[in-house]
Amino acid sequence: MGKVAKGAKCSVSGCDKPAVRSLSAAKVSSAGLNVGSGKRAYLCKEHYKEYKKRTKKEKMIEKWRYST
């Protein structure tokens, strides 16, 4: 049973909602979300949606880069 299933809170500063996803803290902070220190960042539904929007262009470029 993971930390999200146990009821971890969102890692973004100022948010106390329950987390739905766990991602690498480095990826989340590079997307512009303010998370604390640690290896993992736990995101609520709203912040995960914001993370996906901010990384959409980068993912598309990586996809183009490796497709042949």
**13-53 pLDDT per residue, tens:** 999 999 999 999 999 999 999 998 889 999 999 999 999 99
Global pTM reads: 0.85
What is the predicted pLDDT for the residue at 41? 95
The DSSP code for 31 is T
Distance between CA 17 and CA 68 in Å, rounded? 42
What is the predicted pLDDT for the residue at 68? 65
Total domains, the chain: 1
Q: Taking 90 as the threshold, does the pLDDT of residue 60 lie above it?
A: yes
Range of the domain at 43: 3-66
What is the predicted pLDDT for the residue at 40? 94
